Structure 1
Amino acid sequence: MSKEQRNLRAGDSSETTDAAKPRRDIANEAAAHALRLLEKVRHASEARLAKTDTDGDGQQNAAPHAVVIGGGIAGLVAARELRQTGHEVTVLEATGNFGGCVRSTEVAGLRIDAGAESFAVRGGVVASYLDELDLGEQIAATSGQPAWLIQGEDQEILAHPMPATAMLGIPGNVRTDEVRAIIGRPATVRAAADLITPMSKKWATEKLSIAEVVRARMGQAVLDQLVAPVVNGVYSTDPAKISIDAAAPGLRQAMQETGSLARAVSKLQASAPAGSRVAGLNGGMHTMVQALVAQLEEAGVALVRNCAATALSHDPQAAAPYAVRTLGQELHADRVVLAVPAQPALELLNPLFAAEQQLDSDGDANAIALAILVIDKPELDDAPRGSGVLVSKQAPLAAKALTHSTAKWPWLADESGPGTHVIRLSFGRIGEHENLVESGDDSALIDQAIKDASKILGVQLHRDDVLGSTVSRFSDMVPLQGEAATARRTALQHNLSDFEGLDVVGAWIAGTGLARVIAQARSAVAISAR
């Protein structure tokens, strides 16, 4: 599609909106469709139960029914596993779209990831799963462009390339010009003490956060000016709240083996040069959701949109021990998988538990917003800030990170064409209230994104340069597993041991990242139906 065609398409959007059906009619049609599908599922479930009840030999020959509550990545992965092990499966999704944080949007005629856009290559979990979905050949490498860091105070902005050998901002070589430019010479000398300071044996087993490790080994400046911007930008939280084992598996062991944090980083990064630690999919990560949905539909899984579960009950003596209430209907199931965030999951689970076993959901503020801009600006063809930028908290900017998507993904650059650029800016941090994010004012957020992008990229941007824009919001983000999250997960697993066939999956249990979510969902339901 040419730039002129995209501009025309974007300009016609108001006419499309005017001609569309009223919102209430659309909502009513969606609810009616969900009810019709639920009726079919309920009748099929009742027929299975009747067949089981009348079976003279006492054997259950009908395929067991599994209900998956939540149609994000964890729910879809769990549904696929259950279907492959012989279950009849129903997926209930509260919104009108599947995929959760792996979502897409159309801006100025381009289909763009509006959530997760990449996955960690380490461990091969996601790549292997994509192979199973016949998407292995669509795995896309990044352009290899470096990441940058923005520092500053008052109105002064300083931009530096990130150290090429860094992991989570932790430098593998502290004696480089890149590191000295960011933290200064005195702080570099302090960081280099890591190379000669003995490694305490107690570090082999005690609980450690990223902040504790970096501060002790390399000093406060490395933590504040290198590590914190990366962790805040990638995980939307403070490095003091994230376990070193969750954030960097294998780093603790490498520290013990090498006697140094820097040497441990170098060891782990030796086989992962810059630009190769993450990958995506040609066409965007949302194509993974499309493939999952298509395979589930082909396999006969009932995928019900706009259908939130409102109650869950358990009768161990019943032929189908679980009952899920939704839209005035009750679905009976042999197995239930909860694949929703902590708050709605615990609202369904706590009534099943004794009073002393009930769990609190995480009450931290977690509103995160992603502003997406499609810009006509040939000056950005040279990618002045590489594939993207992480922002120090002290810098005079509201955005915590910027991704220059057309500089990062060659397929998107080819699709958008010369002079047209896709920029994504993220706002908000877990545990912090930010009015710009929580107000819900998309126009104000886009205005701020344009201002921040101008400062970050060093290229003046105006509203007239913007071909299209949108805001994607998230209210259920979770940090990597910290001590409190681990304790809650342990308590939940203990409670669930009394309920055969009831499982909980998703990021609030598994931790952040597609690899963790996919692996945990598959493991949780890995029991044959036969």
Structure 2
Amino acid sequence: MSKDQRSENQPAQQPQAPAPKARRDIATDAAAHALRLLEKVRAATEAQVQKRAAAKPAEPAAPHAIVVGGGVAGLVAARDLHQTGYRVTVLEASDSFGGCVRRTEVDGLQVDAGAESFAVRGGTVAGYLDELDLGAKIVQTSGQRAWLVHGDEQKLLADPLPATALMGIPGNVRTDEVRNIIGRTATVRAAADLITPMSRKWATEKLTVAEVVRSRMGQAVLDELVAPVVSGVYSTDPAQLDIDAAAPGLREAMQQTGSLARAVAQLQQDAPAGSRVAGLEGGMYTLIEALVDRLQEAGALLVRNSPVASIDHDAESAQPFTVHTLGQELKADRVVIATEAQPAIGLLNQLLDDEHQISSDSQPNAIALAILVVDKPELDDAPRGSGVLVSRNAPVHAKALTHSSAKWSWLGEQGGPGTHVVRLSYGRIGEADELVASGDDAALIEQAVKDASKILGVQLQPEDVLDSAVSRFSDMVPLQGTAAAQRRTQVRQAAGSIPSLDVVGAWMAGTGLARVIAQARRAVAISAS
């Protein structure tokens, strides 16, 4: 039976679906639901106090831990706390868990709207996924190369990035790939790295990525190769990125090999394109779903739409912390602050005296992703590989583009031939981007279509776009400069002065799921007894 015949056989009068609730009604329902859950926490806490008073010393009640923030760090901390004997409550200010790991539906496809991959090196994330029984869902990229768009209005160029590179730093400077991007003269300058002695002072002094690359390989390698990669991955300038934070082990390899290029080659050996990162079938949000499911199955209480206004601490109390949210006061034996930097510092400062207040000032760091699903068979051959980084001088507003359906086979198969998912990234730390700050999604999508055409070398028209979405991030990218490092030290010292208080998250741990997961687990690695 055809679709038209099915339509003709249906009754003429169909029951009307109930009208969707107004936004105000939905928000009210969410707040009421959160209040009901919080009342359960408060009642349970009071009962726990009474139980403690009457219980024998040999049968202590389970201590209560409150995690403020339901992103990756908060959920990881919550799970570990439960496994060490805590009764756990997670309070999330927004209407969804996951933080920088998000998912959105675009033209019927479930697409990552935040982090889409994880670093394989070290095995931290893969090991954690195994703990969650997600190891079988780990998938490799398609192996497509990454490209670089550079040039100017007169001549826009696109070239594959060096196959053996780290943050754009080539492991072999004498290749056509490097020469095509930086030119012959700059390539000769870069090759001086291979014969220039390595200064001994480089073994210990603080160094930025920019300092290392400029000194060893020259300004052209920094500007044309490294800066686009660092901007696309870290949303910042190489001059603000500590070499040890960005590339653990590189400094030691430089001392061993006597060359930056040889050090990169040593770290990247036997690592073909795309093999240094992996993802999950169905997207990285599968991790969030698994964490939420495990916590709920274990009896943890996860509350959405529950922003925390303040935290009090009384060291003499049986339960020293009082967390204030939606007019409720929740008692806790332990608190983990797992929010973005600004709210986290605001909550922490409430617990500190005037002399030890921590500055919450930060540079502009709003980031936006424009996600397009397009009907364009010309992209079936992935003309720009798995993704493209953009030189700052190129006449393109976006800093990077990921051809997601070319990078992840599972997504390409779901979309089918001719249908492609591309994600364009906008915004850099320390720079106010008017388009990102405006909050105008329609304008951002319009710009994304223009930028995608230039980056991919295939003209896209508005009618080629089947669907689109915008995902915005504010205060979520960790700063890597000296000031940020000093602030993190202050936060660690302040939290360490208050027993049973921890602060976790990407702004404390550094960029990447491996760092976030490892830091959250270290912070709460203590017995509940």
Which category of TM-score, normalised to the shorter sequence, fits these structures? over 0.9
| CA-to-aligned-CA distance 1:249-278 (integer Å, 9 cap, x gap) | 000000000000000000000032221000
* Alignment correspondent of 1:281: 280
* Alignment correspondent of 1:400: 399
* Distance in structure 2 (CA, Å) of the matches to 1:518 and 1:481: 18
Q: Is the counterpart of residue 41 in structure 1 residue 44 in structure 2?
A: no
1:51 shift after superposition? 1.2
* Distance in structure 2 (CA, Å) of the matches to 1:70 and 1:179: 44
Question: 1:50-89 counterparts in 2 under 5 A?
Answer: 50-55=50-55, 57=57, 61-89=60-88
* Distance in structure 2 (CA, Å) of the matches to 1:271 and 1:87: 44
* Distance in structure 2 (CA, Å) of the matches to 1:318 and 1:105: 44
CA contact (8 A) 2:399 2:427 kept: yes
| CA-to-aligned-CA distance 1:209-251 (integer Å, 9 cap, x gap) | 0000000000000000000000001110001001000000000
| CA-to-aligned-CA distance 1:416-475 (integer Å, 9 cap, x gap) | 100000000000001100111100000000000000000111111011111100100000
SS in 2 for 1:492: helix
* Distance in structure 1 (CA, Å) of the matches to 2:20 and 2:156: 45
* Distance in structure 2 (CA, Å) of the matches to 1:131 and 1:450: 39
CA contact (8 A) 2:143 2:272 kept: no
CA contact (8 A) 2:72 2:99 kept: yes
* Alignment correspondent of 1:527: 526
Summarize the Cα distance change of 1:51–1:18 in structure 2 as closer, same or farther, 3 Å threshold: closer
Amino acid at match of 2:51: K
* Alignment correspondent of 2:255: 256
TM normalised by structure 1 equals 0.95
CA contact (8 A) 1:366 1:428 kept: yes
TM normalised by structure 2 equals 0.96
SS in 2 for 1:279: strand
CA contact (8 A) 2:149 2:156 kept: yes
* Alignment correspondent of 1:491: 490
* Alignment correspondent of 1:111: 110
Question: 1:322-333 counterparts in 2 under 5 A?
Answer: 322-333=321-332
* Alignment correspondent of 1:210: 209
Q: Which runs of 5+ in 1 are unaligned?
A: 1-15
Question: 1:73-222 counterparts in 2 under 5 A?
Answer: 73-222=72-221
* Distance in structure 2 (CA, Å) of the matches to 1:379 and 1:511: 38
* Alignment correspondent of 1:428: 427
* Distance in structure 1 (CA, Å) of the matches to 2:352 and 2:56: 35
| CA-to-aligned-CA distance 1:351-371 (integer Å, 9 cap, x gap) | 211211110124210110000
SS in 1 for 2:455: helix
CA contact (8 A) 1:430 1:477 kept: no
Q: Is the counterpart of residue 460 in structure 1 residue 459 in structure 2?
A: yes
Question: 1:318-467 counterparts in 2 under 5 A?
Answer: 318-467=317-466
* Distance in structure 1 (CA, Å) of the matches to 2:520 and 2:496: 17
CA contact (8 A) 1:155 1:396 kept: no
SS in 1 for 2:62: coil
Amino acid at match of 2:27: A
1:479 shift after superposition? 3.7
SS in 2 for 1:397: coil
CA contact (8 A) 1:34 1:306 kept: yes
SS in 2 for 1:181: helix
* Distance in structure 1 (CA, Å) of the matches to 2:99 and 2:56: 44
After the TM superposition, list the runs of 4 or more consecutive aligned residues in structure 1 that deviate by more than 6 angstroms: none
Amino acid at match of 2:406: A
| CA-to-aligned-CA distance 1:293-317 (integer Å, 9 cap, x gap) | 0000000010000000000000011
* Distance in structure 1 (CA, Å) of the matches to 2:357 and 2:88: 28
CA contact (8 A) 2:383 2:456 kept: yes
* Distance in structure 1 (CA, Å) of the matches to 2:487 and 2:34: 34
Summarize the Cα distance change of 1:252–1:328 in structure 2 as closer, same or farther, 3 Å threshold: same
* Distance in structure 1 (CA, Å) of the matches to 2:41 and 2:495: 26
Q: Which runs of 5+ in 2 are unaligned?
A: 1-15
Summarize the Cα distance change of 1:379–1:56 in structure 2 as closer, same or farther, 3 Å threshold: closer
CA contact (8 A) 1:242 1:479 kept: no
* Alignment correspondent of 1:3: none
* Distance in structure 2 (CA, Å) of the matches to 1:82 and 1:158: 52
CA contact (8 A) 2:496 2:502 kept: no
* Distance in structure 2 (CA, Å) of the matches to 1:443 and 1:90: 38
Q: Is the counterpart of residue 21 in structure 1 residue 21 in structure 2?
A: yes
* Distance in structure 1 (CA, Å) of the matches to 2:154 and 2:133: 50
* Distance in structure 1 (CA, Å) of the matches to 2:177 and 2:454: 21
* Alignment correspondent of 2:293: 294
1:18 shift after superposition? 10
* Distance in structure 2 (CA, Å) of the matches to 1:269 and 1:328: 53
CA contact (8 A) 1:243 1:480 kept: no
Summarize the Cα distance change of 1:17–1:416 in structure 2 as closer, same or farther, 3 Å threshold: farther
* Distance in structure 2 (CA, Å) of the matches to 1:105 and 1:20: 20
Q: Is the counterpart of residue 475 in structure 1 residue 488 in structure 2?
A: no
Alignment length (residue pairs): 514
* Alignment correspondent of 1:244: 243
Percent same amino acid among aligned pairs?
A: 71
1:17 shift after superposition? 12
1:163 shift after superposition? 0.4
* Alignment correspondent of 1:31: 31
CA contact (8 A) 1:342 1:362 kept: no
Cα RMSD (Å) of the superposition? 1.3
* Distance in structure 2 (CA, Å) of the matches to 1:519 and 1:341: 17
| CA-to-aligned-CA distance 1:336-389 (integer Å, 9 cap, x gap) | 000001110111110211211110124210110000000001010000000000
SS in 1 for 2:202: helix
Amino acid at match of 1:23: R
| CA-to-aligned-CA distance 1:144-171 (integer Å, 9 cap, x gap) | 0000000022353100000000110000
SS in 1 for 2:466: strand
1:481 shift after superposition? 3.2
* Distance in structure 2 (CA, Å) of the matches to 1:154 and 1:247: 32
1:483 shift after superposition? 2.0
* Alignment correspondent of 2:6: none
* Alignment correspondent of 1:11: none
Amino acid at match of 1:91: V
1:498 shift after superposition? 2.1
Q: Which moved more, 1:189-198 or 1:470-479?
A: 470-479
* Distance in structure 1 (CA, Å) of the matches to 2:95 and 2:56: 43
SS in 2 for 1:323: strand
1:19 shift after superposition? 3.9
* Alignment correspondent of 1:7: none
* Alignment correspondent of 1:306: 305
* Distance in structure 2 (CA, Å) of the matches to 1:141 and 1:81: 28
* Distance in structure 2 (CA, Å) of the matches to 1:274 and 1:374: 25
1:492 shift after superposition? 1.8
Amino acid at match of 1:74: A
* Distance in structure 1 (CA, Å) of the matches to 2:494 and 2:388: 43
* Distance in structure 2 (CA, Å) of the matches to 1:159 and 1:469: 25
* Distance in structure 2 (CA, Å) of the matches to 1:158 and 1:302: 53
* Distance in structure 2 (CA, Å) of the matches to 1:497 and 1:233: 34
